[in-house]
Chain A
Amino acid sequence: MLVDVVVTLVKIGVLLGLVLGVGAYLTWLERKLAGHIQARLGPNVVGPFGLLQPIADGIKLLTKESIIPRGADVPVYYLAVVLALAPAVLLFAVIPFGPGFELFGREIKPLIADVNIALLLVFAMGSLLVYGTIFSGWASNSKYAFIGSLRKAAVIIAYEVVLGFTVLGVVLLAGTLSTVGIVQAQVERGVWFVFYQPVAFILYLFCMLAESGRVPFDIQEAEAELVTGYHVEYGGMRFGAFPLAEWYLNVMALSAIAVVLFFGGWSGPNILGPLSPYFWFLAKMFGLVFFVLWLHWTLPRFQARDVTEIAWKIMLPLALANLVLTAVFLYLFGGE
């Protein structure tokens, strides 16, 4: 009993440290990548290859003066930071990074919560992110911030619905909502679900971009019209927390879920012995993260009106058709 609690606490500590650290270093990767895409060098002054840049940024953000806008609702203003960060971190609780292994005679699974409603939790946390957005915009008492937050809320509501129906196709194939179960279903069949559900994967990719506020769906940020969206009135590390949650943690978590759903999770040829599953999982996950960053620095942005229209009028019917077709095929040829 006590050992279980300790094991879980250790897992949470390791995961938090890794996720937040990697999240911070993704800023370096993104800036480096953006630099090379735009024929620049990117950060290269602080440390070798600019590797100490995220730390310098962090110190700068932490030591900045804290400014609260006039007329702001102070408790909600602070609460919004927590509301934005917490669901993004909680998303990682249900991600299985590898198969279970034995340590001192105990079976340890490299995920925090192996529940049979894991995917429901993913949707729930993904949608709870909307509150950080709305309340940060509202509490700042600023028109730009508020318009940004309303746009983002509309996007999240629309794409969360599409996301749900998209993922149901995979759930039908795997017959379970548990992330571990879905990976095992793919390992047993020896086929990644992306080959069975290509339409679902493409829709998921769009939803992922929209949920994490990445180009071409980043209408909530829209520097040209809205300055920088719903967190424009925040200063210092509080300003840093929003992009960290939205652009980095969320992208990583949703990429990891995509790997679980469509790319067979930790499956892959054994090349590194016991570390092989982790290598494959992280390789696939960061491959997707790289793809998202790549799109971000290449594509232009949709109009605000188009983003929600695409979701409701094109993607939702597609997702529904995909779901019905999958169900019919499973009924005819699945054979249980």
Chain B
Amino acid sequence: MEWVIFGFLSAWLLVSVVGAVLVKNPVHSILFFLSSVLAVAGVFLLLGAELLAGLQLIIYAVAIVVFYVLVITTIPWEKVKRFEGVYKRELLFGLPVVFVLFSLIAFTVARGDLAEPIGAIEDNVREVGRTLFTSYLFPFEVASVILLVAMIGAILLGRKEG
């Protein structure tokens, strides 16, 4: 049963990712990307990482993608840019990197000691919260300060003088 769901989710994910790369219209591409993000959330749910699935939905599927969508839909693409064909040179350089990376990941996964759960975790949310505010407090605070600085920068850039 789990394998059926996993197969379905992975097929969905692969189709959406390939679609996002191959489709010519930028809005269709972002729709495929959105679909792949939803599929990843499904995979997280299946693996029992409920909090990750929820955050994937809220942060990626909504907060981030929605700004791509807003920008992409407001630009009149037919006036700005035409489809220029497949980027051949980039493909030539990119493909070997993809293969090497994929075989490395496949090797690690096949060896089997990657990301094994340490113990049964009862409550995802509580556990993540506790870890964030005890062992990882400093990195967490640094990340928030970086985000705050980025936000102030964005406000400064977007502000109209006068």
Contact = CB atoms under 8 A, between A and B. Distances in A.
Interface stretch (A114-122, A186-194, A258-266, A277-285): A114-122
B118 interface: no
A120 B63 CA distance: 13
A1 B4 CA distance: 14
Contact of A128 (B51, B57, B70): B57
B66 interface: yes
Contacts of B54: 117, 120-121, 124
Nearest to B25: A73
Interface of A is mostly: helix
A160 interface: yes
A138 B69 CA distance: 10
Interface in B13-37: 25, 27-28, 31, 34
Contacts of B57: 120-121, 124, 128
A134 B69 contact: yes
Interface residues of A, number: 26
A116 B27 contact: no
Contacts of B61: 124, 127-128
Contacts of B63: 127
B153 to A, nearest CB: 18
A117 B28 contact: no
Contact of B125 (A1, A117, A135, A146): A117
Interface in A66-82: 73, 75-76, 79
B34 A131 contact: yes
Nearest to A5: B1
Interface residues of B, number: 24
B42 to A, nearest CB: 12
Contact of B58 (A75, A116, A123, A138): A123
B28 A76 contact: yes
A134 B70 contact: yes
Given A73-B27, A134-B73, A153-B70, A177 B58 contact: no
A75 B31 CA distance: 11
A128 B62 contact: yes
A138 B73 contact: yes
Nearest to A134: B69
B108 interface: no
- Which residue of B31, B58, B63, B69 has the most chain A CB atoms within 10 A of its CB atom? B58
A131 B28 CA distance: 13
Given A120-B54, A120-B55, A120-B57, A177 B66 contact: no
Given A134-B69, A150-B70, A153-B70, A127 B58 contact: yes
Contact of B123 (A76, A116, A146, A157): A116
Contacts of A115: 50
Given A115-B50, A124-B58, A138-B73, A130 B28 contact: no
B31 to A, nearest CB: 7
Contacts of A128: 57, 61-62
Interface in B39-85: 50-51, 53-55, 57-58, 61-63, 66, 69-70, 73-74
Nearest to A75: B28
Nearest to B66: A130
Contacts of B34: 131
B125 A138 contact: no
Given A138-B27, A153-B70, A117 B62 contact: no
A76 B55 CA distance: 26
B144 interface: no
Interface string A53-91: 000000000000000000001011001000000000000
16 contacts: A73-B25, A115-B50, A120-B55, A121-B54, A124-B57, A124-B58, A128-B57, A134-B66, A134-B69, A134-B70, A134-B73, A135-B69, A138-B27, A138-B73, A153-B66, A153-B70
Given A124-B54, A131-B66, 20 more contacts: A1-B1, A75-B28, A76-B28, A117-B51, A117-B124, A117-B125, A121-B54, A123-B58, A124-B58, A127-B58, A128-B57, A128-B61, A128-B62, A131-B34, A134-B69, A135-B73, A137-B73, A150-B74, A157-B66, A160-B62
Interface of A: 1, 73, 75-76, 79, 115-117, 120-121, 123-124, 127-128, 130-131, 134-135, 137-138, 146, 150, 153, 157, 160, 177
Task: Sort A-B residue pairs by CB-CB distance and give the 4 closest, nearest first.
Answer: A120-B54, A124-B57, A127-B62, A117-B54
Interface of B: 1, 25, 27-28, 31, 34, 50-51, 53-55, 57-58, 61-63, 66, 69-70, 73-74, 123-125
